[in-house]
Amino acid sequence: MFGSFSYQTKIFLTLAAFLFAMLTIINVINYYRNESLIENDLAQNKQQTTIKLQEQVDDMLKEMDKLSISVNASDSIMDVMKSITSDSDQNYFTEHPAISAELQNSLLSFTSLQSLKGRISLVSRFGDYLSLSNRMDVIKVDKSHVRLMPTFGQYIGMEDYKRFLPPHPDPWSLSGDSVVSIVRPLRDNYNVYGYVEISYSVKELEKIFFFRNDLTSGNVIILDANRNLLFSSLSQQFEGKIDANRLVNMPLVGEFGHFQLKLPGTGSQMVFYSGLSITDWNILLVEDLSTFRRPITYMRNSSITIFLAVLAVLMLLLYYYTNRVTRPLRKLKDSLANVDLVKLELLPARLRTRNEITLLGVAFQELLDELKISMRQTEKSNQRALVAQMNALQAQVNPHFLHNTLTVIAAFGNSSGNRKVEELCIALSDMLRYTMKFNRKDSTVGAEIEHVEQYLTLMQSKYEGFVEIEMDVDPAVKPIPLPRLSLQPLVENAFQHGFLGIDPPWKLSVRASVNEEEWSLAIADNGVGMSPELLTRVRRQIDELRIDPGAETERLAEESAEENLSPIGQGNGIGLTNVVARLYLFYGEAIAVQMDHRPGGGTVITITGRRTG
């Protein structure tokens, strides 16, 4: 069935399936990765909120404990508590209003740094009672009433130094509002003289749970070490589903953590807990799992929506793209089927489009045009090669004749006793023999140096006493390959151009050195040098030859074909551009030629090459 579809349909379905698979895989991987990250972030945020609640409750209990320690450490209060006897049935603090006022001032001084948030109650071992409160609903009780309280005997006889009381009705208030208290016995090393009770309203806890932490649900509970419910801000319906068995089985492991709790009729709940540091209570923050995962649900719905929208847009673009691709391909097929092999042309009517695929036809036509140009260039190159061959054969005639003639003259000078004539003839003969080696185009630095020395021998004889030659050649540089006749034309330029117009002595130096990475040749003279404009032009020509060294060969060949002359026979022989072109053709990017002004006057040409082995 798939094989019966059109070419466009096949491409569209294949790419659509691949695109759908890739988008699905990327979306699924991205979703689960982000889900894990978001869930961890949400859990950490809720855990930090729970820890913050625990720290704030700890701070409140520590504040109460600090206040009770201040009372216990007060000498004036302890002296009064020790002086109370059981002789009278009346409240000691009622019978002694001055002492009561003094004690209340002492208690009030403990709260000078911050306002009193509840009640401070002093109870003697005989039931005498004194309180300091920020409320006006203090109950009036006598000693018998205090002694009948079930907690009186417990607090007087308790062995621990302090005891935190969970939320409970305030026994010293007419309204009986719930309070959180700390009880500390007032004792010395031997006897207990009473106790102090610091009570804060439960509303202080509610402020922590609802205002300071901006809890929208406020589902907070407090459990003691035995998993008894001490405080709860849950709704009665919700609280009724958490029975004692579920409280006992809660996995409160470690100082803090979280877990899921399944409740009948309400679904799963996320519970975050943190233990108080000052007592063995635990703060629990309860949140519905669906509320907790609401950002994840939003991300999932957003991901699905974006996935479907992107998929729809990409499918439309894919259909448009495949339609555009296949239409030019059909035109290109028709055009390629009608190639004229004689004229090497495509049908031009089929190429009127800017589509990238159709432009392949235009590129193919350009390729054919380049092929025709290349064929013409090959034909011209063959013609130039024939002319060059003829010129080379013709150029061999005169050097052979001159070499034989110089040999005869050298023999005559030897027989006549004229050693100078013999030396010059031998030097010139060796130079001719070196230039006549047409079968070898490459040479070495050592051979080129010897050829230069023979040339300088002739120049020193011609300009006897005028020329000072300095040769400094490292023997290690001599085996390095170099195109034949690369150095002698550069030295010759010094005599033909550099020394013209200046008085002797004429100084010429040839230096060659080599290291592990590169070798260098430098030819320097003390001639007239170059003007800045000429030096700039020469440097530009050197840069152009580095990019296209074959341009100089084409120019020389065209001049040779037009004038029917060999480049070697023109002017003063091989020019600077010819030498530079052959160096770049021989070495490519591994060599550099530089021309500069010489300090003190003159010109220096430097050839630097990289060592390849």
Per-residue model confidence as pLDDT tens digits over 523-533: 999 999 888 89
Where do the H-state alpha helices sit in 158-275? 202-207, 236-239, 244-248
Cis amide leading into 505 (omega within 30): yes
- The span from the CA of 302 to the CA of 27, in Å, is 11
Buried b (16+ CB within 10 A) or exposed e, 171-200: bbbeeeebbbbbbbbbbeeeebbbbbbbbb
Check residue 280 and report its DSSP letter: S
Average pLDDT over every residue of 558-571: 42
Q: For the chain, give the mean pLDDT.
A: 80
Percent of the chain at pLDDT > 90 equals 29
The helix (run of H) or strand (run of E) holding residue 608 is strand 603-610
- The span from the CA of 447 to the CA of 379, in Å, is 37
The burial of 143, by beta-carbon neighbours within 10 Å (0-12 exposed, 13-18 middle, 19 or more buried), is given as buried
Nearest Cα to Cα of residue 502 among 529, 536, 477: 529
pLDDT value at residue 305: 92
| Count of C-beta atoms within a 10 Å radius of residue 360 | 16
Q: pLDDT tens-digit profile of 96-132?
A: 999 999 998 988 888 876 677 889 999 999 999 998 8
- The span from the CA of 318 to the CA of 322, in Å, is 6
Tokens of 107: 């208690």
| Count of C-beta atoms within a 10 Å radius of residue 32 | 10
Angle at which helix 532-547 crosses helix 550-563, to 10 degrees, equals 100
Higher pLDDT, 373 or 403: 373
Angle at which helix 294-336 crosses helix 359-416, to 10 degrees, equals 70
In the predicted structure, residue 176 carries a pLDDT above the cut 60: yes
Contacts made by residues 103-112, CB under 8 angstroms, sequence distance 24+: 103/76, 103/77, 103/130, 104/130, 104/132, 106/74, 106/76, 106/77, 107/71, 107/77, 107/132, 108/132, 110/67, 110/70, 110/71, 111/67
Residue type, 64: M
Average pLDDT over every residue of 59-85: 91
Angle made by CA atoms 66, 67, 72, in degrees to the nearest 5: 95
In the predicted structure, residue 61 carries a pLDDT above the cut 80: yes
Q: Is residue 225 very low, low, confident or very high in pLDDT (cuts 50, 70, 90)?
A: confident
- Which residues touch 191 (CB under 8 Å, ≥6 apart)? none
Average pLDDT over every residue of 5-14: 81
pLDDT value at residue 185: 94
- List the beta strands (DSSP E) in 190-243: 192-201, 220-223, 229-232
Residue owning tokens 């948030």: 117
Does residue 420 contact residue 455 with C-beta atoms inside 8 Å?
no
Does residue 498 contact residue 571 with C-beta atoms inside 8 Å?
no
Q: pLDDT tens-digit profile of 470-498?
A: 999 999 999 999 988 889 899 988 888 88
Does residue 162 contact residue 65 with C-beta atoms inside 8 Å?
yes
- The span from the CA of 274 to the CA of 284, in Å, is 7
- Which residues touch 596 (CB under 8 Å, ≥6 apart)? 535, 603, 604, 606
- Dihedral angle sign, alpha carbons of residues 77, 81, 83, 88: positive
In the predicted structure, residue 515 carries a pLDDT above the cut 50: yes
Task: Identify the weakest region by mean pLDDT among 57-61, 225-229, 407-411, 582-586.
Answer: 407-411
- The span from the CA of 177 to the CA of 180, in Å, is 10
Average pLDDT over every residue of 506-515: 93
Q: Is residue 381 very low, low, confident or very high in pLDDT (cuts 50, 70, 90)?
A: low
Q: pLDDT tens-digit profile of 422-459?
A: 667 777 776 666 666 645 567 899 999 998 998 898 88
- The span from the CA of 604 to the CA of 593, in Å, is 11
| Count of C-beta atoms within a 10 Å radius of residue 276 | 19
In the predicted structure, residue 400 carries a pLDDT above the cut 50: no
Nearest Cα to Cα of residue 155 among 181, 175, 177: 181
The β-bridge relationship of strands 118-124 and 129-133 is antiparallel
Q: What is the distance of C-alpha 574 from the center of its chain?
A: 56
Q: pLDDT tens-digit profile of 269-288?
A: 889 999 999 999 999 998 88
Average pLDDT over every residue of 403-427: 62
Average pLDDT over every residue of 54-60: 93
pLDDT value at residue 247: 85
In the predicted structure, residue 299 carries a pLDDT above the cut 80: yes
- The span from the CA of 337 to the CA of 118, in Å, is 101
Higher pLDDT, 85 or 389: 85
- The span from the CA of 294 to the CA of 297, in Å, is 5
Q: How much is the pTM?
A: 0.51
The helix (run of H) or strand (run of E) holding residue 260 is strand 256-263
Nearest Cα to Cα of residue 604 among 493, 474, 452, 462: 493
Q: Is residue 52 very low, low, confident or very high in pLDDT (cuts 50, 70, 90)?
A: very high
Q: pLDDT tens-digit profile of 325-379?
A: 877 766 666 665 555 555 555 554 444 554 445 555 666 667 677 778 878 777 7
CA distances from 523 to 396, 484, 490, 505, 519 (A): 30, 17, 7, 17, 14
The β-bridge relationship of strands 506-514 and 467-473 is parallel
pLDDT value at residue 2: 59
Residue type, 182: I
Average pLDDT over every residue of 234-263: 83
pLDDT value at residue 144: 85
Does residue 479 contact residue 519 with C-beta atoms inside 8 Å?
no
CA distances from 470 to 109, 225, 370, 463 (A): 107, 104, 53, 16
pLDDT value at residue 411: 59
CA distances from 605 to 453, 489, 576 (A): 18, 12, 10
Phi, psi torsion values for 26, nearest 5 degrees = -65, -40
pLDDT value at residue 347: 52
- Dihedral angle sign, alpha carbons of residues 416, 417, 420, 423: positive
Give the up-direction half-sphere exposure of residue 605: CA atoms within 13 A in the CB hemisphere: 26
In the predicted structure, residue 183 carries a pLDDT above the cut 90: yes
In the predicted structure, residue 217 carries a pLDDT above the cut 60: no
